[in-house]
A and B are shown apart, each in its own frame.
Chain A
Amino acid sequence: MEHIRTTKVEQVKLLDRFSTSNKSLTGTLYLTATHLLFIDAHQKETWILHHHIASVEKLALTTSGCPLVIQCKNFRIVHFIVPRERDCHDIYNSLLQLSKQAKYEDLYAFSYNPKQNDSERRQGWKLIDLAEEYKRMGLPNSNWQLSDANREYKVCETYPRELYVPRIASKPIIVGSSKFRSKGRFPVLSYYHQEKEAAICRCSQPLSGFSARCLEDEHLLQAISKANPVNHYMYVMDTRPKLNAMANRAAGKGYENEDNYSNIRFQFVGIENIHVMRSSLQKLLEVSGARGLSVNDFYSGLESSGWLRHIKAVMDAAIFLAKAIMVESASVLVHCSDGWDRTSQVCSLGSLLLDSYYRTIKGFMVLIEKDWISFGHKFSERCGHLDGDPKEVSPVFTQFLECVWHLTEQFPQDFEFNEAFLLQIHEHIHSCQFGNFLGNYQKEREELKLEEKTYSLWPFLFDDQKKYLNPFYSSRSQRFAVLEPNTVSFNFKFWRTMYHQFDRTLHPRQSVFNLIMNMSEQNKQLEEDIKDLESKIKQRKNKQTDGILTKELLHSVHPESPPLKTSLCFKEQSLLPVNDALRTIEGSNTADNRYSEYADEFSKPEPAVVSLEYGVARMTC
């Protein structure tokens, strides 16, 4: 609170960066302890969570006031014009303070109260249970067992307590191997493919340098390949570019020497590191946010940012992994440097391709919980939750979501969830509203007592799942229906709904999803009505044969059949909440779009903004 000097500024203008230059909304700006709130003249509210703010910039004073540009981690960019410079300065300073917290305890999650009692909250944290998940995979079994080596976080601080390892790998082997691996992250199981009896394992890079070797580590790898009864060799995927891995050797790290390990097939897959990814996204945002962007600048920018190339690299790695398991029934060990960024991407995407369970709403939560949260993807550092080293921030998880989105585009019927679900998750990795993504590894989360002090995101998403359902989903009966995405370059597109989520004018103005959702919902309803009516008719026929005919029966049939006309006209739009994340507007007005500089030629004063909601209302009946 001590950071807030001004809580309310009136006559603030909000500019829309993709509309004609002179269009703006005037309203009042409020600063609260957790949010920045703008209420325009039409009482429309724009809420910006302080934790979402990535940067605040005060531009040079103009005649109409002092411009304040706020860039958010969910890719929202707002451009205010504050009439008085002093107010602007106050807000600017407050936001700088509020958006960067020094301590976990000051984050929103610790004060957020969704009106649940303690037992509900505890229940919520139990929704996703990883012990249950390993059971679902068919573990433990004759080859894999739960190891208690890390029960006290003694072997590896950044791993979870419960780890699955080959049954024949003894504790000394595990401990020995962990000493040979960066940050002690020794090879453990990430996913077990019951049908192929092959496993996806993960670890960090070996501390091999130019010649060092470690017998325990070699034993552990051998144990992993022996745990696969079908195939005697295993793949070791180093997800880094070869050059990076070689450079690491000089620092006493590096990669496995094929001569020292029996029966491994070593493979580099060439995903770039977090720094390359960070600057790539930076370039992408610069391009897509440019004013008056031409088509050619857009595509050359898209190319030079390299973003889609990186997405393709991650996807290709996941496909390589899935193929090794499906085609060769070989187990695969994945690592990068520390084994928490690229490794998490590749293991989780690979599992998603292999197991249809992860393509359901619940399964996807489990997947994130397992490969990202429990295995120590450093969410707090990568998302910059606290005021820390900006070099640790990187969109690794965003890339994962984007890969999943590309898969949903290629396989529209294979995912239970829709795009809004991915966007919502992305929103919350940065929001710090729930405890799930705070901290960098499980031990730290336990120390923060997150389960006692904060709420879990998953039950909230789960309760809201109607919003996130994909109407085209047709669950295949087979659990192991593998996805084989095609990664020709044509298939990779700019993810507009992610990077321009809040630039409403750039999106389709009508939502097929909502319409289809409503339709299938109504179909179900109508079918039930039919059944209902049929049973009544039957009942009545029976009664007729009994010679009983009552007036009341007639009444009971008629009021129940809804008038066909209204249902055909989608009157019951309220069946589904219109998704906030993907606001769709029909019709729209010309001022939303920049058609040309010549538009100035038509230089009449603008009429009051045409009510877009009006268009929707007219459309819905």
Chain B
Amino acid sequence: MEFSELIRTSRAQAELLRGPEMPPLRGTLYVTGHHLLLSPAPQTTTDLWLLLLRSVDSIEKRVAGDSGTITLRCKDLRVLQLDIEGVEATLDIARSIEALSSLESVITSFPFFYRPKGLRLGDAWHFHPPESYYKRIARETNAWRLSEANEDFSLCPSYPRAVIVPRAVDDQTLARSARFRQGGRCPVLSYYYAPSGTVLLRSSQPLTGPQKRRCREDELLLRAVLAGARPEARGFILDTRSAQEAKQARITGGGTEAKAAYPGWKRLHRPLERGRPLQESFVCLVEACGDPEQSMDHWLSRLEGCCWLAHVKEVLSTACLAAQGMEREGACILVHGAEGTDSTLLVTSLTQLILDPMTRTMAGFQELVEREWIQAGHPFQLRCAHSAFSHAHPKHEAPTFLLFLDCVWQLSRQFPLSLEFGEGLLLVLFEHAYASPFGTFLCNSEKERCLCEVRTRTHSLWSGLNQPKEQRKLRNPLYVPNPLAIWPSVEPQSLRLWQGLFLRWTHPPEPSEVAGGKVWQIVTEREKTGDSQPTASTSEPQP
């Protein structure tokens, strides 16, 4: 397909308004296959303005007289306004943006064309291979092994090639267990907590169905998990649905583990919101944040009504519960909901952040996102097809990953010195999950990424982020490694709206960010004075 067919008018004179804080920009507007660019009039000194068309969430056009206005609402929650000369040009450009921003084909998307200077294709794709993490665990524990049963994605299409399973379980047992789990997502290791020798597992729901079917191999697998941990280890199954929902799932072939079938395992239900209601909550919140004129009462009641912070609280406290089980009780934890690709991942990834100091480093966090979200088969393409502004009826969209980032942000507020990365990294991940020139968040699973040859034909976000010039934006200047678990408070008084994200474009930055510059100054001053000291002493003339 040729992009040129979709571009009705490729250029027009326009003025761009980017919110109250930024000056308007005048110049020539161009529509290309992947971008909208505005080349400022020659006398101005401002640089070229560029917008990835993929990041346009909704578009609204209005014409009056012989000019028109296009309002672009972006997936990163920015609202842009383009005043364009000429009615025809306005309509044509609007139609072109509409068509180009909603293209579904992956292999014609921009990451396949993006060739930034300084990066080589295929460079950092193996920057954080989950295999190396799994291999380390297999080596350390002796109770786990890396299985190649999913080498051709036949076991489970949404799992990566390498999965880590109990050593005592052979590939055949594994295959049978996979057949008993929705989408083939049999229980696999997500995290090994060395201090107590316990593990965190994730899977999808068992397909018990209305007849309450059982699967011997699945039971065997979970028994092997407990046996491998330590004698008389206990296990908890954290079902992220309510008991009622889990029961109802039987009608459609799903269900939950029967108590009698899994001795040593106890089931807990912690209902977490997912899917459509979560997306609606996101939309409501963004809507409320877009209205600076509202009264205090109205704002507070909308903040309450959207329930976003209630979801944050639920997710965080469920993760804390899982972490508590591992740390305090020495229990193994299996987390699943229905498909095991959304709320399950929220819980498993946050649990690790709470318990494991490594995941709070820059590299460790990237590894966590890669392993627990991208490789674990969170369907980014479906979930992040649209953000909060889209008028399209949501089908598969849900801000699960954003909810994860928000929870991480809450942790960073409560433990401001314990995370090596700052708010900047979380914002970048949010933006790139929804629209990115990099290939990292493309597709829904490793299988799809292999089919599209994402690894060889696009650049990895991680290599983009790990360039030295990006670091200052992403790092927490005050980071001090904290070897302890970080237990957040989940009381409503302790949770806050993430202004840096939800009010980023409509509202001056948070004080912490304003003061951020000062913090960097103090920290670098200190590095400077620290550095110059040895030089002062080495510059001593030798007698």
* Real binding pair: yes
Chain A contact residues, CB within 8 Å of chain B: 18, 288, 293-300, 302-303, 306, 308-309, 312, 409-413, 471-472, 474, 486, 488-490, 492-494, 496, 499-500, 505-510, 512, 515-516, 519-520, 522-523, 526-527, 529-530, 533-534, 537, 540-541, 544, 549, 557-558, 561, 564, 567-568, 570, 586-590, 592-596, 598-599, 601-602, 604, 615, 618-619
Instruction: Tell whether B483 is near chain A: CB-to-CB under 8 Å.
Output: yes
Bound CA–CA A456/B529 (angstroms): 41
Bound CA–CA A367/B96 (angstroms): 61
Closest A residue, CB atoms, query B238: A598
B486 and A549 form a contact (CB under 8 A): no
A303 and B491 form a contact (CB under 8 A): no
B522 and A506 form a contact (CB under 8 A): no
B494 and A489 form a contact (CB under 8 A): no
A595 and B492 form a contact (CB under 8 A): no
Interface extent on B, as a size class?
Answer: 35 or more
In the complex where A515-B417, A526-B533, A595-B490 touch, is A300 in contact with B301 (Cβ < 8 A)? Answer: yes
Closest A residue, CB atoms, query B298: A489
In the complex where A508-B415, A516-B519 touch, is A296 in contact with B307 (Cβ < 8 A)? Answer: yes
Total residue contacts A-B, CB cutoff 8 A: 221
Bound CA–CA A410/B300 (angstroms): 19
A490 and B310 form a contact (CB under 8 A): no
Bound CA–CA A520/B325 (angstroms): 41
Q: A472-B515, A564-B534, A595-B321 are in contact. List 17 more A-B contacts (CB 8 A).
A: A309-B296, A411-B511, A474-B518, A506-B491, A516-B519, A519-B526, A520-B522, A534-B536, A541-B541, A557-B537, A564-B530, A586-B417, A589-B487, A593-B320, A595-B317, A598-B321, A602-B328
| Closest beta carbon of chain A to B305's beta carbon, Å | 8
Chain B contact residues, CB within 8 Å of chain A: 236, 266, 268, 270, 289, 292-301, 303-304, 307, 309-310, 312-313, 317-318, 320-321, 323-325, 327-329, 331, 413-418, 478, 480, 482-497, 499, 503, 507-508, 511-512, 514-515, 518-519, 522-523, 525-526, 529-530, 532-534, 536-537, 539-541, 543
Q: Which are the 6 A-B pairs with shortest beta-carbon distances? A: A587-B484, A299-B304, A298-B492, A489-B299, A303-B300, A526-B529
Q: Residues of A contacting B526 with CB < 8 Å?
A: 519, 522-523, 526
Bound CA–CA A595/B298 (angstroms): 30
Q: Residues of A contacting B317 with CB < 8 Å?
A: 595-596
Q: Residues of B contacting A544 with CB < 8 Å?
A: 541
B499 and A490 form a contact (CB under 8 A): yes
A-B contact pairs, 16 of them (CB 8 A): A297-B492, A303-B304, A309-B297, A409-B511, A488-B507, A494-B493, A506-B494, A530-B533, A533-B533, A540-B540, A587-B482, A587-B486, A590-B320, A590-B327, A595-B320, A602-B324
Q: Residues of A contacting B320 with CB < 8 Å?
A: 590, 593, 595
Q: Residues of A contacting B483 with CB < 8 Å?
A: 618
A296 and B310 form a contact (CB under 8 A): yes
Closest A residue, CB atoms, query B540: A537
Bound CA–CA A510/B484 (angstroms): 13
In the complex where A299-B304, A486-B508 touch, is A510 in contact with B292 (Cβ < 8 A)? Answer: no
B522 and A508 form a contact (CB under 8 A): no
In the complex where A299-B304, A590-B324 touch, is A508 in contact with B416 (Cβ < 8 A)? Answer: yes
Q: Residues of A contacting B523 with CB < 8 Å?
A: 519
Q: Which of B304, B487, B488 touches A300 (beta carbons < 8 Å)?
A: B304
Q: Residues of A contacting B530 with CB < 8 Å?
A: 526, 564, 567-568
Closest B residue, CB atoms, query A292: B491
| Closest beta carbon of chain A to B489's beta carbon, Å | 5
Q: Residues of A contacting B295 with CB < 8 Å?
A: 309, 489
Q: Residues of B contacting A492 with CB < 8 Å?
A: 296
A588 and B487 form a contact (CB under 8 A): yes
| Closest beta carbon of chain B to A411's beta carbon, Å | 8
Most buried by B among A471, A540, A602: A602
A595 and B297 form a contact (CB under 8 A): no
B543 and A549 form a contact (CB under 8 A): yes
Q: Which of A411, A570, A598, A615 touches B270 (beta carbons < 8 Å)?
A: A598
| Closest beta carbon of chain A to B535's beta carbon, Å | 10
| Closest beta carbon of chain A to B494's beta carbon, Å | 5
Q: Residues of B contacting A288 with CB < 8 Å?
A: 493
B415 and A510 form a contact (CB under 8 A): yes
Q: Which of B268, B417, B503, B536 touches A512 (beta carbons < 8 Å)?
A: B417
B324 and A523 form a contact (CB under 8 A): no
B304 and A619 form a contact (CB under 8 A): no
Q: Residues of B contacting A507 with CB < 8 Å?
A: 414, 489, 494
Bound CA–CA A395/B487 (angstroms): 34
B301 and A295 form a contact (CB under 8 A): no
Bound CA–CA A510/B541 (angstroms): 44
| Closest beta carbon of chain A to B19's beta carbon, Å | 14
B507 and A561 form a contact (CB under 8 A): no
Q: Residues of B contacting A515 with CB < 8 Å?
A: 417, 478, 480
Q: Which of A309, A413, A568 touches B514 (beta carbons < 8 Å)?
A: A413
